[in-house]
């Protein structure tokens, strides 16, 4: 499958998705996804491609968003007159300006110094936004209205699906630009500086300038994401530029997988789904998210995309069949174990006398339900451990090159 | 004026020394592993919550001993089964791991204790004013906090520089391989230092809980400030951490107690702005208003002009 085909499929999926899932909830989730994807990809320009760990990336998202809302207000009061479809660009330009200013002194060094400056700037901007009330609106934030200004081919963006298509179009454009950036000399040099700044300098490149370019571009695309956010929600508050938002984008990029261009997209989609669907079922979804994040860092350093990419060798050797049965055998007790753990966590927080879980009526007050769950979970755990050696064996079999000679005594 | 100054100094001292209890453990862990532990303030929060729950059964004093020990054990387990595993994937992964841990601990605390503020109070034994100056009371509990912090500093300094254990720890930090060749269990030393550092943070939580209120956001409130201190003081420098802690504590305390602002500066310069000037938010700033952002401003300035920190030797 050629690269062009992938982009066409991507565009078609974006167009068709709201036709298949056309409820209000799914539309709002799709729009959230587009924002998250642009934001997470822009973050990956720093951490994944440039090796700069930032704890304050929400600053550019938020500043872009705030300026976009102010631009929307100016359109409303007819100080300015341009189409609302250009609002994300306003966000992008101001994200870029903020990044140009801050990047001019923060990109001297990568590593801990950069991480600490980003943390300091993030806290500084978040705290200042509460002080400078006339621009940031204090605790309440600032809000605008997207339905003013000259209509775009007769569309006034009063309906949610119009907003989705606008957001999706901007997202497609931003993702394409960010992908093309990775192919430019500046994008390739960003990787070089990440891996070995000293060597890049010996080749005649200023590591600092390369980092500065990546940083400015990341700020620009974060600002676009903020602008799309402004169009969609029509309000921005301090929450959109504080440390929690900076942390969430790190979570998305990391869980998705930093080493791959598509990784942050996967992370943004998965986390938006968790965020909007899981929160309907349980109050404890943040706890699960934290556990998922920690497990990812510990066991999948290359993220969910890395997990998929691990199967490339087996796939190319045509040996996925070998893995099918062991995977199923591991997945069944694994699922039972996870569901059992979740049941116990949820039951300990259930307030009613009866607690219905997956169609099973449990009684949090009695010992019976606890004993049942503990028993099932423990059995699942031991079965899971028994299936692992078989999985490991199948894995090494599926990933061994066919022509490699096998020695009886175990020495290669 | 003078009474404001004296009380601001005393309060700044209390805050600064409290911050130092956190910063000392953090900087020790940093010089050992080369990683800033984002979850350090979470151990401080765990200390306060553990102490609250224990004090319900035993009262404050046994909790003062048991809670930090428990937090230390939790810290050692985190190092043994979490950080050591992530170490293979590099420094960024370690930093991200501690970041996730801080997130998880906050959620776990809300899971076990709920979202509301705990009714964790200082012991009745210390519930009296130590002295009264210009009609204002100085609570004995604050003096107790100063006493604990200072004894920790002296104890830590003594152990690290005057005992055999301290010498081995210092050697393990700078030359892990030769120390291992001499027969010392270096991974165990790392785990123990991480445990002791976390325990110190826990102890800070136990004594700070009653004063600064015990609630799920308490780690986030102090977490980034402790980071700032360790960086300003110079990564890995214990003395730098002490200087920076006192500096930040006093700076914030003076700023809050003062009543000057931009208006005074403008009056001094003879400048005035119209009542509807667009930048009025800036012209009307007061020092107490910007007190919370001062540490971060200081951090950014220090990192730009002296990235190795006030007393630090290494850069990153």
For residues A157 and A24, the answer to whether their CB atoms sit within 8 Å is: no
Domain count for chain A? 2
In this predicted structure, the answer to whether residue B219 has a pLDDT above a threshold of 50 is yes
A153, A229: one domain: yes
Does the distance separating the beta carbons of B227 and A297 come in below 8 Å? no
CATH number at residue A278: 1.10.3470
Q: What's the start-to-end Cα distance of chain A, in Å?
A: 37
Q: What is the pLDDT of residues B27-40, one digit of tens each?
A: 888 877 777 788 99
Q: What is the overall mean pLDDT for chain A? A: 86
Does the distance separating the beta carbons of A134 and B280 come in below 8 Å? yes
Written out in words, the top-level CATH class of the domain with range B2-305 is mainly alpha
Would you kindly state where each structural domain of chain B is located, as residue ranges? 2-305
A358, A218: one domain: no
Nearest chain A CA: its distance from B307 CA (Å): 7
Tell me whether residue B192 is exposed, middle or buried, using C-beta atoms within 10 angstroms of its C-beta: 0 to 12, 13 to 18, 19 or more: middle
Question: Looking at the DSSP assignment, which residues form a beta bridge with residue B134?
Answer: none
A101 Cβ under 8 Å from any chain B Cβ: no
Task: Please say which residue of A299, A322, A354 terminates a domain.
Answer: A299
At residue A235, the 3 state secondary structure works out as: strand
Asked whether residue A105 is assigned to any structural domain, the reply reads yes
Nearest Cα to Cα of residue B140 among B205, B53, B210 = B210
- The single-letter DSSP state of residue A278 is I
Average pLDDT of A341-348? 84
Asked whether residue A143 is assigned to any structural domain, the reply reads yes
For residues B19 and B226, the answer to whether their CB atoms sit within 8 Å is: yes
Residue B99 Cα distances to A207, B105, B196, angstroms:
27, 10, 20
Average pLDDT of A289-300? 88
- The single-letter DSSP state of residue A147 is T
Nearest Cα to Cα of residue A341 among A292, A386, A390 = A292
Q: Give the pLDDT score at A1.
A: 60
What count of Cα atoms within 13 Å lies in the side-chain half-sphere of residue A21? 12
B contacts of A251 (beta carbons < 8 Å): 100, 103
Q: Give the pLDDT score at B314.
A: 53
d(CA A409, CA A398): 21
B139 against B75, higher pLDDT: B75
Of B99, B107, B278, the CB nearest to A247: B99
A237, A143: one domain: yes
In this predicted structure, the answer to whether residue A168 has a pLDDT above a threshold of 70 is yes
Q: What is the overall mean pLDDT for chain B? A: 83
d(CA B172, CA B178): 8
Per cent of chain A over pLDDT 70 is 96
Q: What is the pLDDT of residues B103-121, one digit of tens each?
A: 899 989 888 888 888 877 7
In this predicted structure, the answer to whether residue A412 has a pLDDT above a threshold of 50 is no
B89 against A271, higher pLDDT: A271
Q: Which domain, by its residues, includes A317?
A: 312-399
A69, A191: one domain: yes
Least confident among A24-28, A95-99, A399-403, B288-292: A399-403
Does the distance separating the beta carbons of A47 and B111 come in below 8 Å? no
Selected residue of B103, B222, B227 to mutate for chain A interface (largest A Cβ count, 10 A): B103
At residue B164, the 3 state secondary structure works out as: helix
Does the distance separating the beta carbons of A133 and B281 come in below 8 Å? yes
In this predicted structure, the answer to whether residue A407 has a pLDDT above a threshold of 60 is no
A292, A346: one domain: no
For residues B230 and B36, the answer to whether their CB atoms sit within 8 Å is: yes
A330, A369: one domain: yes
Q: Give the pLDDT score at A410.
A: 46
Question: Looking at the DSSP assignment, which residues form a beta bridge with residue A360?
Answer: A357
Q: Give the pLDDT score at A156.
A: 73
ipTM above 0.85, yes or no: no
In this predicted structure, the answer to whether residue A267 has a pLDDT above a threshold of 50 is yes
At residue A403, the 3 state secondary structure works out as: coil
Asked whether residue A146 is assigned to any structural domain, the reply reads yes
A contacts of B303 (beta carbons < 8 Å): 113, 116-117, 120
Asked whether residue A189 is assigned to any structural domain, the reply reads yes
- DSSP-derived secondary structure for A284-346: THHHHHHHHHHHHHHH-TTHHHHHHHTTHHHHHTT-HHHHHHHHHHHHHHHHHHHHHHHHHHH
In this predicted structure, the answer to whether residue B311 has a pLDDT above a threshold of 90 is no
A327, A292: one domain: no
A34, A138: one domain: yes
Asked whether residue A409 is assigned to any structural domain, the reply reads no
Asked whether residue A412 is assigned to any structural domain, the reply reads no
In this predicted structure, the answer to whether residue A76 has a pLDDT above a threshold of 80 is yes
For residues A237 and A139, the answer to whether their CB atoms sit within 8 Å is: yes
Task: Please say which residue of A243, A273, A299 terminates a domain.
Answer: A299
Return all residues near A385 (Cβ < 8 A) that are at least 6 apart.
none
Does the distance separating the beta carbons of B228 and A120 come in below 8 Å? yes
- The single-letter DSSP state of residue B154 is H
Neighbours of B10 (CB within 10 A): 17
Structure tokens at B201: 């943070």
Neighbours of B279 (CB within 10 A): 11
B125 Cβ under 8 Å from any chain A Cβ: no
d(CA A143, CA A145): 7
Q: What is the pLDDT of residues B41-65, one digit of tens each?
A: 999 999 999 999 888 888 888 888 8
Q: Give the pLDDT score at B315.
A: 45
A231, A361: one domain: no
Q: What's the start-to-end Cα distance of chain B, in Å?
A: 43
A95, A178: one domain: yes
Q: What is the pLDDT of residues B222-277, one digit of tens each?
A: 888 888 888 888 877 788 888 899 999 998 888 888 777 777 777 777 777 766 67
Q: Give the pLDDT score at B316.
A: 41
Of B235, B281, B303, the CB nearest to A134: B281
Neighbours of B221 (CB within 10 A): 14
pLDDT band of residue A406 (cuts 50, 70, 90) is: low
Q: Where are the alpha helices (DSSP H) in B79-185?
A: 84-86, 91-113, 140-162, 164-174, 176-181
For residues B45 and B109, the answer to whether their CB atoms sit within 8 Å is: yes
Residue A398 Cα distances to A324, A376, B186, angstroms:
11, 32, 38
A284, A319: one domain: no
d(CA A69, CA A77): 12
A243, A354: one domain: no
For residues A274 and A289, the answer to whether their CB atoms sit within 8 Å is: yes
Nearest chain A CA: its distance from B316 CA (Å): 6
Asked whether residue A406 is assigned to any structural domain, the reply reads no
Task: Please say which residue of A244, A273, A299 terminates a domain.
Answer: A299
In this predicted structure, the answer to whether residue A67 has a pLDDT above a threshold of 90 is yes
Tell me whether residue A154 is exposed, middle or buried, using C-beta atoms within 10 angstroms of its C-beta: 0 to 12, 13 to 18, 19 or more: exposed
């Amino acid at each position: 499958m050629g690269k062009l085909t992938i982009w066409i499929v991507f565009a078609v999926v974006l167009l068709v998705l709201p036709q298949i899932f056309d409820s209000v909830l799914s539309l709002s989730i799709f729009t959230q996804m587009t924002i998250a994807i642009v934001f997470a990809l822009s973050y990956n320009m720093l951490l994944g491609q440039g090796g700069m760990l930032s704890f304050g990336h929400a600053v550019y998202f938020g500043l872009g968003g705030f300026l976009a809302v102010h631009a929307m207000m100016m359109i409303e009061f007819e100080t300015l007159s341009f189409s609302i479809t250009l609002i994300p660009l306003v966000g992008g330009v101001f994200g870029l300006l903020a990044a140009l200013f801050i990047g001019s002194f923060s990109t001297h060094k990568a590593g801990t110094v950069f991480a600490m400056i980003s943390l300091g700037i993030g806290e500084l901007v978040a705290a200042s936004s509460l002080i400078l009330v006339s621009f940031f609106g204090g605790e309440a934030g600032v809000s605008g209205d997207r339905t003013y200004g000259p209509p775009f081919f007769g569309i006034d963006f009063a309906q949610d699906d119009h907003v989705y298509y606008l957001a999706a179009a901007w997202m497609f454009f931003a993702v394409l630009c960010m992908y093309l950036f990775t192919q430019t000399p500046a994008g390739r040099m960003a990787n070089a500086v990440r891996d070995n700044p000293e060597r890049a300098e010996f080749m005649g490149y200023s590591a600092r300038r390369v980092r500065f370019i990546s940083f400015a571009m990341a700020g620009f695309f974060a600002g676009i994401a903020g602008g799309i956010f402004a169009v969609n929600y029509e309000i921005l508050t301090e929450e959109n530029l504080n440390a929690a938002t900076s942390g969430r984008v790190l979570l998305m990029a990391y869980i998705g997988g930093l080493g791959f261009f598509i990784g942050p997209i996967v992370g943004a989609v998965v986390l938006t789904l968790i965020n909007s669907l899981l929160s309907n079922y349980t109050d404890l979804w943040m706890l699960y998210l934290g556990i998922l994040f920690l497990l990812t860092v510990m066991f999948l350093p290359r993220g969910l995309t890395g997990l998929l990419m691990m199967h490339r060798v087996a796939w190319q050797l045509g040996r996925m069949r070998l893995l099918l049965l062991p995977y199923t055998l591991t997945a069944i007790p694994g699922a039972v174990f996870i569901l059992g753990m979740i049941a116990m966590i949820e039951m300990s927080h259930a307030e009613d006398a009866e607690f219905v879980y997956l169609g099973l009526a449990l009684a949090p007050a009695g010992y019976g339900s606890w004993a049942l769950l503990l028993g099932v979970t423990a059995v699942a755990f031991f079965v899971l451990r028994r299936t692992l050696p078989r999985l490991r064996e199948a894995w090494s079999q599926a990933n061994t090159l066919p022509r490699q000679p096998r020695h009886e005594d175990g020495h290669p | 004026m003078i009474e404001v100054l004296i009380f601001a100094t005393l309060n700044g001292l209390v805050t600064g020394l409290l911050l130092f209890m956190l910063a000392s453990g953090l900087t020790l862990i940093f010089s050992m592993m080369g990683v800033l532990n984002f979850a350090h303030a979470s151990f401080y929060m765990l200390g306060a919550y553990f102490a609250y729950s224990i004090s319900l059964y035993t009262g404050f004093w046994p909790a003062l001993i048991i809670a930090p020990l428990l937090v230390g054990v939790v810290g050692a387990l985190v190092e043994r089964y979490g950080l050591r595993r992530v170490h293979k994937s590099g420094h960024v992964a370690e930093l991200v791991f501690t970041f996730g841990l801080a997130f998880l601990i906050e959620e776990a605390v809300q899971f076990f204790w709920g979202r509301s503020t705990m009714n964790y109070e200082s012991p009745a034994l210390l519930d009296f004013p130590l002295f009264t100056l210009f009609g204002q009371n100085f609570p004995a509990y604050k003096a107790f906090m100063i006493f604990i912090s200072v004894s920790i500093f002296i104890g830590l300094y003594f152990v690290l520089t005057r005992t055999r254990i301290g010498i081995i720890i210092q050697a393990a930090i700078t030359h892990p391989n030769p120390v291992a060749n001499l027969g010392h269990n270096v991974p165990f030393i790392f785990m123990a230092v991480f445990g002791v550092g976390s325990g110190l943070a826990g102890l800070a939580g136990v004594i700070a809980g009653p004063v600064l209120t015990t609630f799920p956001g308490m780690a986030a409130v102090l977490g980034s400030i402790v980071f700032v201190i360790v960086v300003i003081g110079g990564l890995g420098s214990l003395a730098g951490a002490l200087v920076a802690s006192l500096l930040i504590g006093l700076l914030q305390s003076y700023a809050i107690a003062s009543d000057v602002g931009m208006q005074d500066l403008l009056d001094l310069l003879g400048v005035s702005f119209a009542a509807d000037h667009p930048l009025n938010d800036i012209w009307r700033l007061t020092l107490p208003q910007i007190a919370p952002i001062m540490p971060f401003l200081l951090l950014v300035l220090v990192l730009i002009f002296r990235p190795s920190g006030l007393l630090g030797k290494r850069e990153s």
